[in-house]
Structure 1
Amino acid sequence: MSDTFFDRMKEQTGIELNESQQQAVLHTEGPLLLLASPGSGKTTTLNMKIAYLLFEKRVSPDRIMAVTFSKASARDMSRRFDDYFSGWSDERVSFSTIHSFAYKVVREFMSREKIPYQLIEGGGNKGRLANGLPLHKTFILKKVYEDVNGAQPTEEEMDDLMSFISLVKNRMLEGKELEKVSCQAKNAPEVFKAYESFKQTEAEVTLLDFDDMLTFGHEILRENEEMLKKYQERFDYVLTDESQDNSVVQHEIVEMLAAPDNNICLVADDDQSIFGWRGAEVDKLLQFEKTYPDATVLTMTENYRSSQEIVHVANRFIKRNVDRYEKEMTTPNESQEAVDIHTFQNDEKQLDYVVGQIREKRGEEEVAVLYRNHSSVIPLVDQLDRAGIDFYMKDSEAKFFKHWIVEDILNFLRFSYNDSRIDILEKIHTKFNAYISKKQMTLLKNRQTDGSLFDQLLNLDIQEYQKKAIPKAKQTFRDINGMAPDQAIITIREKLGYDRVLRKMVDNFGFRADQLFGTLDVLIRIAGSCDSLKDFAFRLRELEELVKSAHSRESSLTLTTFHSAKGLEFDSVYMIDLVDGIIPSNDDIEDYRDGERETMEEAARLFYVGMTRARSRLELLTYHYLGNERVKESTFVHNVRAITGTKKTNHKEKENKVDTSSFEGMDPGTPIIHKTFGRGTLMEYSGDLIVIHFEDVGYKELLLETCVERGLLSKEKQEA
């Protein structure tokens, strides 16, 4: 019977399943966990399994519940099902998300119990409270934050709060468990509790956000036996795709629906569980056989996507993780190119290489550049645009340009152009070393006097230390106005003390140092190709519009994060910024050192997802310096080196090496002039590093080649 079915499928759809895929299709009764490696045809197998239920077992379509993680995945599954079977059958199965099912449960319950409610996320007019506050999640959360903390949240704090709320709901955390969840927003657990209370008490109706659909739906099914039984009797078979992305609450909804017969099939890959930060729970997969003692676990490990070299490296690499199902990924594909590892002097050389490689390909193959952080791609976008290379961004994220650090830097530059603008000084007076107090700002605003605000400050009753600091700051701002944009930003950071202010914020408020200083490094990278401060400000606006529109363009080149690349495949893949601190992140490394391996293992899975996007060519790119900061090659790249036997060698640049011979043989104590940092004394010169003690900014460890290339460094002329 089954042979006839598979023969018929091959004849009518052209699809021929291998032995493990057929085994998965035929297993219909009882709990099944189907572990599908990258490129193993899981969506095809799942559709064939549904077809088997429909056409061979004669199960009615409305008795099958087929769910997946996202609307996009549901649409893709439905489209593929239609492609396979629409020509010879009218049978259809409804593919949906767990979210949409849970919302159906909530709507039915609220209607039956006559409980009025209103969604506060999504489009449409949400109405307002009596005090005028819009009934929208963002406005409500901001109001609650202000009530709890007595201050407005930053955009980063709002993003973190949104993630925090979604995480604790999806993992169904409460009480003291809330305090264990990391969140940069101040008093996040208290804000969360106040937010939940607000939704229940401050409006005439119950207010629901998207995550409430899940938690309310779960609670209704758990506490209302009649409704649960209704849905259990409605579905004979429950199948879920991308189950490694499901959260605790989503898993439990599916488990309740499948009971008591437990004809449940989870299609998943524990090695591709990469959304822990939004509630995904890989432990639910690892404990499947404990949840269902009579469970069957099958594997589909034949990768039809990638070359032998890529499959070999990825298969060996992911075995570094401890918490996973043991499996061996193989491929019938031919041998092609070895996995390449390139080590560059700095991040700039890395991007030069990537752009050069893409230019050579001339759109003749599908190429992807993968990165972990959104900020990483901005300099690449700048360089691709200047090279006239079109690209598509799967997740075009323009928040970088609204970051408060970007706004700070622009305000510093605006003030350097006109130091009489009180509106600008009010925004930055606490962020540079003139030590201007709030009281002094109030006095300045009340004076209504024209001219330099620095001069006006000197006429006030100021502290003794300000009498030296204020004229110095005034001169520095005047100097900045005549500088090249990248040197202006370096001067703001070093001579005006902006870096010192950021470090205090890191210590006092828990901001992530790598994100703050990474944003500044990106700005310097963009500024390096601009001729004036005005050009720099204009270029930022250009890039913002470019990023905003990038998701609507078509191109053979895709730029995307590792997370958003899941489910995609390309001929060539370049994984960039592979250094410790980015992937794995500093938090991943610290947790691992403290004996907590969960976040490090998820970072390894993210790296694995990136590698397995490539069909024939995979290049891993790392470097020694990010800006002026010395960084270490990613521990994951080190793992790959051990697998491939690749030695650590610097990438040979095609262009001529910068001539630094005039600085060779210098003795410690040699006077040095730097265009940004001023006068200094050479302390150490070794290899590519030069260490200088500057009179104004102290010790600096600099890349000699970069300094010479940009004309920043010279020996101080000595009088005869």
Structure 2
Amino acid sequence: MSETFFNRMSTETGIELNGAQKQAVLHTEGPLLLLASPGSGKTTTLNMKIAYLLFEKKVAPERIMAVTFSKASARDMSRRFDDYFSGWSSVKVPFSTIHSFAYKVVREFMRKENIPYQLIEGGGQKGRMPGGLPLQKTFILKKVYEDVNGTQATEEEMEDLMSYISLVKNRMLEGRELERVPCQAKAASEVFQAYESFKQSEAEVTLLDFDDMLTFCHEILRENPDVLSVYQQQFDYVLTDESQDNSIVQHEIVEMLAAPSNNLCLVADDDQSIFGWRGAEVDKLLRFQETYPEATVLTMTENYRSSEEIVHVANRFIKRNIDRYEKEMTTPNGSMQDVEIHAFQNDEKQLDYVVQQIQEKSKEETAVLYRNHASVIPLVDQLDRAGIDFYMKDSEAKFFRHWIVEDVLNFLRFSYNDSRIDILERIHTKFNAYISKKQMDLLKGRNTKRSLFDQLLQLDVQEYQKKSIPKVKQTFHDINNMRPDEAIVTIREKLGYDRVLRKMVDKFGFRADQLFGTLDVLIRIAESCDSLKDFAFRLKELEEIVKNAHVRESSLTLTTFHSAKGLEFDAVYMIDLVDGIIPSNDDIEDYRDGEREAMEEAARLFYVGMTRARVRLELLTYHYLGKERVKESTFLHNVRTIAGSTKKTNHREVASRVDTSALEGMDPGTKVVHQAFGRGTVMEYKEGLIVIHFEEAGYKELLLETCVERGLLSKEKQEA
């Protein structure tokens, strides 16, 4: 009977399933974890599985709960189902997100219990508090932050606070756990608790934000068995796509709904779990068989997307991770071209190369992938000047509203007119004139158009100010006549802006790489501008370009690694592959402290980037970011070891100095035995070192040459 179904599907839809896909379709009873590697046809398989339930097992469509992580994924699932079956069946399956289902539960419960509520996020908010405060999440959170800290939150603090709140809710953290979650916003745990209290007590109705849909749904189902029973009896089968993106609260909602029959199918790839920063919980997948001892775990590992070379490198690379399901990704595709690694002198030459390649290969469907939004701004500048159209998956213009960008522009404005008290008030603590608040108050009372530096010297100033103020005045005067890039360097070095930023990093916990990276980006843009006025105009121009880039149609896509998941391209350039960006400095620091979680997620992010490419994959790094010497990404060392590629590069190869044939097969993730340190796991190779985490001795960086020459390392023998 099953072959009749598959033959019918082949005839009607043209879809031929492989053995693993057929096995997944036919497994309908009991819990199933379907691990689907990149390009393995998971969406097609899931749709065929639903079709099997509908047309072969005669399950009514309303008895099937099919959910995925995002609205876009739900729309894609629905569209593909219609493409396959609309010609011969009018059956519709209601694909939805977990959020939309959770909101339905909350809405129906609130209505039944006569509990008035109002959404404060997601559009359509209305109403105000008696004092005039809009009933909208951002306004409420800003007020609560100010009440707790006695100062206004910056845009970056608000953004980090939003992420913090979403994370702690999705992971259902409370009490002391709240304080252990890092957040740049001051007193984040106190602000969060005050915000939750405000929503419950300050308004006439219960206020709900986006994440409350999940936490309230979870609470309703857990504490009201009768309500839970209604939904359990509504669905015979529960299927979830992209399950590696689900948070703890989402996983638990799905688990409750699938009980007691547990006809549950999770389609996921633990190797593509990259959203831990917003609450995704890969451990739930890794413990699936603990939750369901009777569960079946199937793998679909045949990648129909990528070339043999790309699949080979990606498959071996991801094995550096320890916390994962063991699987072997393969491909029926043939050999095409080697994975290329390019190392440039600096980031500027890297982008010059990318632009040149895009111009020469304009007919390819191409993507440039990057980790940080700031990384792409200089590329946008160059592409626009070269007349190359592009589409941006993440049309994110927040770079141009960053407080550092505003600081630099205010320094430049003040150099043009040093009598503007409104500008000096914003920057007086950020350069080395040491102007006090009392002095600023006195200046504001003078209301004159003379130089504020001259006016300062007429006040009661300190002896050191009598020396510093004339120097600072002259520096601002000089800045007004400089080229923009030279002006920014002067602001950083001569006016002491870099020193101020370092103090802010130490005091407030800001990420130094992000702050100084923003300044480096501004210098890159400034280098192609002739005057300060041109520079300010170019920033505005670039902001508009980025804002509108998501509505363009182009064969060239610019996107972050995170947003690239689910996409595929003929050619992929992964840029800025240096330690400090991917992996980040925080990832590296945690890893050296013996905490693997962040580093393993960064490795999964790198893996996602590589597996977007069909034919051509180029990995780009450099030795200098601005004037700062940087190290190429440790992940790139892993790939080089795997690929053995030396083409078109100017990097130093470990293989050129050491005969590593004795280490053949010791990829990251391999269990090894060291004569002195015992059993351990290979973590990475880098610049003549092999990094191993030993069970007893901990984290060790060993000289590769010594290990090879003395035969200190061997692969651990596997028991038969």
Secondary structure of the residue aligned to 1:239 is strand
Task: Give me the whole-angstrom Cα distance separating, in 2, the residues matched to 1:278 and 1:551.
Answer: 23
- Show the counterpart of 2:54: 54
- Who is 1:347 aligned against? 347
Q: Secondary structure at the match of 1:319?
A: helix
Superposed, which structure 2 residues align to 1:237-252 within 5 Å? 237-252=237-252
What aligned pairs does 1:180-219 form with structure 2 within 5 A after superposition? 180-219=180-219
- CA deviation vs aligned residue, 1:519-546 (integer Å, no higher than 9, x gap): 0000000000000000000000000000
Paired residue type of 1:610:
G
| Offset at residue 174 of structure 1 (A) | 0.3
Deviation of 1:236 (Å): 0.3
User: In the aligned structure 1, how far is the partner of 2:237 from the partner of 2:217?
Assistant: 20
Shift of 1:334: 1.0
For 1:637 and 1:156, the matched residues in 2 are separated by 31
- Give a deviation string over 1:311-365, Cα, whole Å, max 9, x none: 0000000000000000000000010110000000000000000000000012x11
Question: Which position in structure 2 is the counterpart of 1:714?
Answer: none
Aligned residue identity for 1:321: N
Q: Aligned partners of 1:224 and 1:464: how far apart in 2?
A: 72
Partner of 1:484: 483
User: Match of 1:32?
Assistant: 32
2:386 matches 1:380: no
Structure 2 residue 264 is the aligned partner of structure 1 residue 264: yes
* Matched length: 651
What is the identity, as a one-letter code, of the residue corresponding to 1:103? Answer: Y
Matched residue, 2:686: none
Contact 2:245 2:281 in 1 (8 A): yes
Specify whether residues 212 and 601 from structure 1 end up closer, same or farther in structure 2 by C-alpha distance, changes over 3 A only: same
* SS of residue paired to 1:465: helix
Aligned twin of 2:596: 597
Q: How big is each residue's C-alpha offset from its partner over 1:237-259, in whole Å with a ceiling of 9 and x where there is no partner?
A: 00000000000000000000000
CA contact (8 A) 2:54 2:60 kept: yes
The residue type paired with residue 136 of structure 1 is Q
State the one-letter code of the partner of 1:243: S
In the TM superposition, residue 125 of structure 1 has moved relative to its aligned partner by: 4.0
Q: Which residue of 1 aligns with 2:2?
A: 2
**Pairing 1:107–2:111 present:** no
- The 8 Å contact of residues 67 and 96 in structure 2, kept in 1 or not, is answered as yes
Alignment TM-score, normalising by the size of structure 2: 0.90
| Separation in structure 2 between the aligned mates of residue 71 and residue 122 of structure 1, nearest angstrom | 13
Instruction: Measure how far apart 1:644 and its partner are.
Output: 1.1
Give the residue type in structure 2 aligned to 1:74: A
**Contact map agreement 1:345 1:650 (CA 8 A) in 2:** no
Give the whole-Å Cα distance in 2 for the aligned partners of 1:450 and 1:637.
57
Equivalent pair of 2:341/2:648 in contact (CA under 8 Å): no
Residue number in structure 2 paired with 1:80 = 80
Amino acid in structure 1 at the alignment position of 2:422: D
Partner AA of 1:309 in structure 2: E
Instruction: Give the Cα–Cα distance (whole angstroms) in 1 for the partners of residues 125 and 91 of structure 2.
Output: 38
Letter in 1 for 2:606: F
The question of whether the paired residues in 1 share the 8 Å contact of 2:244 and 2:273 is answered with yes
Query: Would you say 1:547 and 2:539 are equivalent positions?
Result: no
What residue is the counterpart of 1:681 in the other structure?
A: none
1:424 partner amino acid: I
Equivalent residue, structure 2, for 1:43: 43
Q: Secondary structure at the match of 1:490?
A: helix
* Alignment partner, residue 573 of structure 1: 572
Matches within 5 A, 1:556-571: 556-571=555-570
CA displacement at 1:450 relative to structure 2: 2.4
> Match for residue 449 of structure 1?
448
How far is 1:646 from its partner? 2.9
Percent of residue pairs identical: 85
Q: Which residue of the partner structure matches residue 176 of structure 1?
A: 176
What is the alpha-carbon distance in structure 1 between the residues aligned to residue 488 and residue 211 of structure 2?
41
Do 2:167 and 2:278's aligned partners in 1 also have CA atoms closer than 8 Å?
yes
Describe the superposition over 1:590-644 as per-residue Cα deviations: whole angstroms up to 9, x where unpaired: 0000100000000000000000000000000000000000000000000001101
Report the Cα offset of residue 650 of structure 1. 4.9
Gaps of 5+ in 2: 652-720
The aligned residue for residue 465 of structure 1 is 464
Query: What is the TM-score when the length of structure 1 is the normalising length?
Result: 0.90
Query: Which runs of structure 2 are paired with 1:113-512 in the superposition (5 Å)?
Result: 113-362=113-362, 364-512=363-511
Per-residue CA distance 1:291-321 (angstroms, 9 max, x = gap): 0000000000000000000000000000000
Shift of 1:648: 9.5
* Matched AA of 2:442: L
Answer yes or no: is the 8 Å Cα contact 1:69–1:242 preserved in 2. yes
Alpha-carbon distance in structure 2 between the residues aligned to 1:422 and 1:151:
21
Moved more, 74-83 or 86-95: 86-95
State the alpha-carbon separation in 2 of the partners of residues 279 and 220 from structure 1: 21
Counterpart of 2:452, as a letter, is L
State the alpha-carbon separation in 1 of the partners of residues 34 and 219 from structure 2: 28
Q: Is the 8 A contact 1:142 1:152 kept in 2?
A: yes
- Cα-to-partner distance string for 1:106-155 (whole Å, 9 max, x where unaligned): 01100000000000002224210000000000000000000000000010
CA offsets, 1:631-665, max 9 Å, x none?
A: 0000000000110123598549xxxxxxxxxxxxx
Deviation at 1:451? 1.4
For 1:525 and 1:433, the matched residues in 2 are separated by 25
Query: What value does the CA root-mean-square deviation take over the aligned residues?
Result: 0.9
Partner Cα distance (2:257, 2:468) in 1: 69
Shift in alpha-carbon separation, 1:650–1:303, aligned structure 2, 3 A: closer
Q: Report SS of the residue matched to 1:327.
A: coil
